[in-house]
């Protein structure tokens, strides 16, 4: 009888110990979004990306592209303001209201595929960030952008390019029966 009790206690301890200290497989899972993110003081930047359709090897200097992101102010009592965004790949022009209310949200630009939300917030004074490229940029790479807030300070993020909802490009030189294998 004592042997069965001892075995039961040992088995129960071993089973309970199997889960101790384990990291959940989804605890560090990132959201499926196009952009990057970061935090400076009480301001969190999410889904930061350049929105542009690239049809050649690179987006060339002289091209204007949109910088899209969402900023949230985690402070319950202190407002902030996006003062500037700078980058070595181009000149960033901010327009519209860049105030970030205490506990508030600032949406800059409009990601592709979100037209139905635009209709809901037509009366809102939205902000825009346009980048006039001075250097060529290409999909698959990231580019440093410095976000400067009045109170929170600066945050440098490596920002990717998102092609948005552009349609698929038709294959050239391949027709029925021309598999090329």
Interval 141-152: pLDDT, tens: 999 999 999 999
Average pLDDT over residues 104-114: 82
Residue 77 pLDDT grade (very low, low, confident, very high; cuts 50, 70, 90)? very high
Q: What is the CATH number of the domain that holds 118?
A: 2.60.40.1890
Any domain includes 62: yes
**What are 118-166's pLDDT values in tens digits?**
554 444 567 999 999 999 999 989 999 999 999 999 999 999 998 665 5
Any domain includes 6: no
- Assess contact for 40 and 71: CB atoms under 8 A: no
Any domain includes 25: no
Any domain includes 12: no
Average predicted confidence (pLDDT) for the chain: 81
Contacts of 111 (CB under 8 A, 6+ apart): 34, 47, 51, 68, 162, 164
Average pLDDT over residues 54-65: 94
Q: In the chain, what's the furthest Cα-to-Cα distance?
A: 85
Any domain includes 5: no
Any domain includes 72: yes
Residues facing residue 91 across a β-bridge: 132
**Among positive and negative, which fits the CA dihedral 131, 132, 133, 137?**
positive
What is the structure's pLDDT at 162? Answer: 86
Average pLDDT over residues 66-89: 97
Any domain includes 28: no
Residue 108 has pLDDT above 60, yes or no: yes
Q: Nearest to residue 111, comparing CAs of 72, 147, 143, 67? A: 67
Q: Could you give the angle at the alpha carbon of 173 between the alpha carbons of 167 and 179, nearest 5°? A: 100
Query: Where in the sequence is the domain holding 72, given as residue range(s)?
Result: 36-159
Question: How many domains does the chain divide into?
Answer: 1
What is the structure's pLDDT at 110? Answer: 84
Q: pTM for this one?
A: 0.72
Per mean pLDDT, which range of 44-53, 119-128, 144-153, 172-181 is the poorest? 172-181
Any domain includes 70: yes
Q: Tokens representing 10?
A: 């040992």
Cα–Cα dist 71/29, whole Å: 21
């Amino acid at each position: 009888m004592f042997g069965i009790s001892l075995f039961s206690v040992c088995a129960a301890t071993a089973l309970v110990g199997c889960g101790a200290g384990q990291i959940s497989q989804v605890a560090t899972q990132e959201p499926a979004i196009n952009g990057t993110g970061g935090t400076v003081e009480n301001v969190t930047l999410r889904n930061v990306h350049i929105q542009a359709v690239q049809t050649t090897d690179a987006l060339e200097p002289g091209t204007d592209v949109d910088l899209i992101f969402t900023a949230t102010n985690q402070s319950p009592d202190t407002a902030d303001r996006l003062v500037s965004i700078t980058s070595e790949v181009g000149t960033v022009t901010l327009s519209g209201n860049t105030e970030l209310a205490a506990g508030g949200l600032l949406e800059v630009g409009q990601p592709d595929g979100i037209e139905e939300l635009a209709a809901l917030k037509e009366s809102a004074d939205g902000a825009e960030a346009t980048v006039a490229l001075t250097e060529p940029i290409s999909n698959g790479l990231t580019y440093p952008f410095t976000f400067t807030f009045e109170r929170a300070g600066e945050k440098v993020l490596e920002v990717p390019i998102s092609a948005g909802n552009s349609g698929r490009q038709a294959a050239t030189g391949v027709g029925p029966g021309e598999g090329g294998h």
